[in-house]
Structure 1
Amino acid sequence: MTSPATGSTSQPTPPEVRTNRSLIEPGSGFRSGLRDLRQHLGVAPVSAGLVAAIFGCTGPALIIINGANEAGLSDELVTSWIFGIYVFGGLISLVLGLYYKMPITGAWSIPGAVLVVGALADFEFSEMVGAFLAAGVLVLALGLTGLLPRLAAWLPVPIVMAMIAGALIRFGTGVVHAGVSTPVIVISAAVGYLLLTRFIRSVPGVVGALVFGIVASLATGAFGSTDVDFTLSAPQLVAPTFDLNAILAVAIPLAVLVIGAENAQATGVLMAEKYRPPVNAMTLISGVGGILTSLFGGHNANIAGPMTAICSSEQAGENRDGRYVATVVNGILFALFGVFAGVAVALVSILPTTLIAAVAGLAMIGVLVSALRGAFGGTRFQTGAFAALVIAMSDVTILNISAPLWALLGGVLVSLAVESEDFKADTDQP
């Protein structure tokens, strides 16, 4: 997020998350969100929402499609799965974006998808659906306790920011790897980004990256080809069956991933951009999303960390109050992707993966800078923040739990061991 220079060496402290006795934190309301939508419409938020949708509808979708095909699922089940997670993920964006007027973006867990497709060979699909439903119930139950806002408010901000930087740094390094693979496309995207950032600041650099990257992809013949059948998807209800082993192997790790990876990342990203995220509402709607998607064979719909990062960054506009437009745009595109899953999947398969990686990585620059500044711009919790950074960067998975949650846990434990006075100082502040 850009801000005018003040000459001061102190860094502003990101606001705490909302803590409220109500299970659902108060927001601006749908009427206010809809009323102000038109005044905030612009190139920046619309393009950020488009970039986030392109990211979420390409590579991540192929994880599910390829895994489901390898497991021998029918095209009808795969289409229904895609319908569920994208339609309800899009609805989460619309509901939270409009009600809170914040760029809280819905989608589904990419690490969760990796976990799920890896387990398809071990269980019947109806048992997997039962596990998906159980995961949604677990997340909803945790939200009903109202404990997460208190926990999030207690976590030291530098450790949270370091976790965000470590979790998202792979998008930055992904630009480099993509550049080695297809230098013409990635260099063109980078040139487009830099030109707009330097000379046309009213238009976000990511727009230049997308346009220049597409032109380079066309010039080099990098786009694939496919036959497209423009038909509506036909989702189907999938009856669950419940297996204890599936619940232990899939449901519990999936619920932890939703809370400890996606929602935690999104909360940290919003804090880095100086928002006050409604943690409990985010948890509750992620639980409801998990339950509803399971009815159509989908593994979950929840808050998306990386896509919230794109929609909340400075690429979505200098006016923070209007960045929720990016989330609304993304939500509409996600829902359309789900409704037209058959044609959408065919279309996204022709996009060069290196172009997607380059644009997504360039869109993350502002978020990464803000997160690193929040992590290491002060003097407290520095060792814990460094521990959280390297654990998150490792992308390690232990007990089917991915790196972001271990990064938070490791960072807090390190700070408790060597920086315990910082916790006391944090409590003493008014």
Structure 2
Amino acid sequence: MSVFKDISLSAVVAGFIAVLVGFASSVAIVFQAAQASGADSHTIVSWIMALGLGMGASCFFLSLWYKTPVITAWSTPGAALLATSLGQITYAESIGVFIFAGALTLLTGVTGLFDRLMRLVPLPIACAMLAGVLFKFGLGIFESLKTDTFLVATMLVTYLVVKYFLPRYVILIVFMVGVILSVVRSDDAMLSHIPLSVGQFVWVWPEWNLNALIGIGIPLFIVTMTSQNIPGVAVMRSSQYHTPVSPLISWTGLASVVLAPLGGFAFNLAAITAAICSGDECHRDPKRRYIAGLSAGLFYLLAGLAGTSVVALFSVFPKSMIAALAGIALLGTIGMNLKSAVSNDQYREAALVTFLVTVSGVSFAGIASAFWGIVFGSVFLLAAKLTKSN
């Protein structure tokens, strides 16, 4: 088979680094989302296993089929949205939200409506909503700095220094520094209590809450499509891969629908980790970089099988470390979305209103603020256009 001829160490390592960076940079946010949904420790393990299975299978088979490095990921902004929105509904209703958002993604891919549907929500409005959702995670860095000054300050200094020399691996190294400091100053041998065992899936049938579907499901869909899938496609195009987009979107949507009852809340095309697997560092020959996608798929599957160990590992870390890591990992995303939201004079006021409404946490009719941010922002945008036309 040509696959064996195309295998290279650099591509395999690129896949491993992509998985490591993906987990280290955002698994803390997934934990917060799971906890917000009411998941217990066994259910959180199921989340990690389902996410590992979904990302592993989609990375491996899509990369193999298209012979390009197709890297998928869980929706990190989606997890941040869920962490701030799921507290008022039951866990079964949360599963219903995941399935609904996944079905919208599947429908968008199957019908080829990706581009047309995204035009309904202007990018600045979507970016403003996302920035509002992520805002509290950025604040979490400095709230944690007050309660655990040495640990968080060291992580921040590490971030500033490493970002200058090795920007691609900055979150991974910040994570490692946080782990080392947490272990060194602990009275117990933290790592000795981490089980090395395969976890178990927890299946929960969905329940349907119309307010939650509208107030959380639609924003989850929009955030995933605009902040994850669009940049993911951009990474592929910038690397000169012209893989058909609609089938990729369809498969991520299908994975979300199938794995949602196990905790697979949202899958999408990756951007940052995809860049690791599609650049020159992966392999000089672009036609052989798909091996990185196969490698990432296998490592994701292994990480999913080790769900019990992953959950136990993160449960022993200080909350301040997890909060700081999550915030630091999202600094770039917050900044880019704020810039995209207000850089265009035409959209600036509407985007600002979207951001403020989302940050406020205001809720009407039981529908979360992220949705109302889009509504208010769209109204202001429409009013501005009508005023200008007159």
AA matched with 1:302: A
Corresponding residue of 2:315: 349
Q: Secondary structure at the match of 1:412?
A: helix
Point out where structure 1 has 5 or more consecutive residues left out of the alignment.
1-30, 424-430
Corresponding residue of 1:157: 123
Distance 1:164 1:321 in 2: 31
Q: Which of 210, 223, 234 is 1:261 aligned to?
A: 223
1:267, distance to aligned residue in structure 2 (A): 4.2
AA matched with 2:334: L
Deviates further, 322-331 or 383-392: 322-331
Distance 1:278 1:133 in 2: 24
Higher helix share: 2
Change (3 A) 1:190 1:324: farther
The superposition leaves residues 296-346 of structure 1 with CA deviations (integer Å, 9 ceiling, x where unpaired) of: x424442369xx575479xx6996997999988775554323212223222
Matched, 1:209 2:174: yes
Whether the aligned pair in 2 keeps the contact of 1:90 and 1:334 (CA below 8 Å) is yes
Corresponding residue of 1:52: 22
TM-score, with length taken from structure 1: 0.65
Q: 1:323-362 to 2 correspondence within 5 Å?
A: 332-362=298-328
Change (3 A) 1:83 1:47: closer
1:88, distance to aligned residue in structure 2 (A): 1.2
Distance 1:190 1:222 in 2: 24
Change (3 A) 1:304 1:212: same
Corresponding residue of 2:74: 106
1:253, distance to aligned residue in structure 2 (A): 6.0
1:414, distance to aligned residue in structure 2 (A): 1.1
Whether the aligned pair in 2 keeps the contact of 1:88 and 1:293 (CA below 8 Å) is yes
Corresponding residue of 1:387: 353
Corresponding residue of 1:4: none
The superposition leaves residues 361-402 of structure 1 with CA deviations (integer Å, 9 ceiling, x where unpaired) of: 333333333333333334322212222222333355555654
1:349, distance to aligned residue in structure 2 (A): 1.3
Distance 2:181 2:21 in 1: 17
AA matched with 1:303: F
1:201, distance to aligned residue in structure 2 (A): 4.5
Whether the aligned pair in 2 keeps the contact of 1:266 and 1:304 (CA below 8 Å) is yes
Point out where structure 2 has 5 or more consecutive residues left out of the alignment.
283-288
Q: Secondary structure at the match of 1:105?
A: strand
Change (3 A) 1:202 1:139: closer
AA matched with 2:31: A
Distance 2:226 2:94 in 1: 25
Q: 1:62-81 to 2 correspondence within 5 Å?
A: 64=34, 67-69=38-40, 75=42, 79-80=45-46
Whether the aligned pair in 2 keeps the contact of 1:85 and 1:107 (CA below 8 Å) is no
Whether the aligned pair in 2 keeps the contact of 1:178 and 1:357 (CA below 8 Å) is yes
Corresponding residue of 1:169: 135
Distance 1:379 1:196 in 2: 35
Q: 1:292-307 to 2 correspondence within 5 Å?
A: 292-294=258-260, 297-303=261-267
Q: Secondary structure at the match of 2:139?
A: helix
Q: Which of 180, 195, 198 is 1:232 aligned to?
A: 198
Corresponding residue of 1:221: 186
AA matched with 1:106: W
Q: Secondary structure at the match of 1:57?
A: helix
Q: Which of 45, 59, 83 is 2:49 aligned to?
A: 83
Distance 2:280 2:332 in 1: 13
Change (3 A) 1:273 1:229: closer
Q: Which of 55, 61, 68 is 2:31 aligned to?
A: 61
Deviates further, 86-95 or 167-176: 86-95
AA matched with 1:216: L
Q: Secondary structure at the match of 2:346?
A: coil
Corresponding residue of 1:375: 341
1:417, distance to aligned residue in structure 2 (A): 0.6
AA matched with 1:256: I
> RMSD of the TM alignment (CA)?
4.8
AA matched with 1:260: I
Distance 1:391 1:49 in 2: 35
1:180, distance to aligned residue in structure 2 (A): 1.3
Instruction: Report the count of equivalent residues.
Output: 371
Change (3 A) 1:209 1:149: same
AA matched with 1:351: F
